[in-house]
Amino acid sequence: MIAKETRDYVRGLYGKPSAPIKSEIADIALGNEKPIETRPADFLELMYDKCREEVVSRGYYIKEEDVLTYCLFPKTTIEFFEARKQGKALAKSSIQLDTCKVVKVVINGVEYAVGVEGADLGVIRVSVPPVQLSIRTRYVEFKEESPSMVRGEEAGKLELSDEPVRAPMSGKILQILVKPRDRVRRGDKVVALESMKTETEIYSPIDGVLSKVLAKEGDTVKSCSVILTIESS
C-alpha cells in the first residue's frame, strides 16, 4: 500500500528526487504510468483563484493563508473553517487507543505498557514459561485472524461470504468510490483515507460485487475497522 503523495513523488510531481529511484520500486509505485521528465508544474491544474473564490463565497475567508490551506487540504480544511465560523473549538479526535490493545509487560521489576496497533487482543492467550525465570516476562501468543473476522458491532453486519475491506490505519474517510451492487475487480481503488495529512488509497482485495457500505465520507475510523464488504463472484 503506497500513499498518494509517495506515488506523486516517485512520478516526479515534487521535482527531481535527491537520489535515483530504483526501477523496481518505481514499477511498484506507478504501475503502467510513466514518470514525469519535463517541468512538473506543467501537469498541475491552476487552482489558486478557483480555491480563493470557493473560500470567499462560503464565508470562510479571513486571511490569504486560508486559501492556501484549502488548496492543500480541501476536504479536511472545511471542518476547521466551519468550526471557526461558528466559534467552536474543534473536537478532539475520536481515535483512542483501546485499553484492550495494551499489554502490560514486567521486566526486572519495571512495568511497561506496550500498545499494539491493528491487533485484536481479545483473541490472544497468555502462556506461562515452563521454567521460572528471574525476569518476570509475560508472554503473549497471537492467533491469526481470518479475513472474515470482525469485532464488536461490525460482527452483526456481515454475511459469512462477505470479504471485508478494512482501514489499514486510523484516519478520516475522504472518499468512498463505490456503492452497493457495484461490480469491482481485484486492485480497483474503492476508498481514499486521510491520515496525518497523507492520502492512502485502499483497493479491492477480490473480484466481486459490493454488498455493504459500513461507513460514510467524513467518518473517522480506527485501524482495522471494516469500511465496506464485497461478495465474491
Any bridge partners for residue 125, and if so which?
141
Q: Would you list the domain boundaries of the chain? A: 4-85, 99-141, 152-232
Distance CA 225, CA 34 (A): 34
Q: What is the mean pLDDT of residues 17-21?
A: 89
Q: What is the pLDDT of residues 101-121, one digit of tens each?
A: 666 677 766 777 776 665 555
Tell me which residue of 227, 222, 226, 218 sits closest to 173, measured CA to CA: 218
Q: Domain 152-232 is of which CATH architecture?
A: Beta Barrel (2.40)
| pTM for this entry | 0.50
pLDDT interval class at 199 (50, 70, 90): confident
At residue 141, does pLDDT exceed 80?
no
Cell (9 digits) for 138: 509475560
Could you give the strand order of the β-sheet that contains 171-176, starting from the edge strand earlier in sequence? 198-203, 189-195, 171-176, 220-221
| pLDDT of amino acid 227 | 94
Report d(CA 216, CA 173) in Å as an integer.
7
The CB density around residue 66, as the number of other CB atoms within 10 Å, is 19
What is the tally of helices (H) and strands (E) in the chain? Answer: 5, 12
Question: Which residues are CB-neighbours of 14 under 8 A, at least 6 positions away?
Answer: 8, 40
pLDDT in tens, 66-95: 999 998 888 778 888 888 888 876 555 444
What is the spatial distance between Cα 88 and Cα 205, in angstroms, rounded to a whole number?
Answer: 40
Report which of residues 63 and 134 the model is more confident about: 63
pLDDT in tens, 153-185: 444 445 556 899 999 889 999 899 999 999 999
- What span, in angstroms and rounded, lies between the C-alpha atoms of 229 and 73? 28
Q: What is the dihedral of CA 42, 44, 46, 50, to 10 degrees?
A: 180
Of the chain, the end-to-end C-alpha distance in Å amounts to 24
Which H or E run contains 103?
strand 102-107
Tracing cell 519535463 back to the chain, one arrives at 38
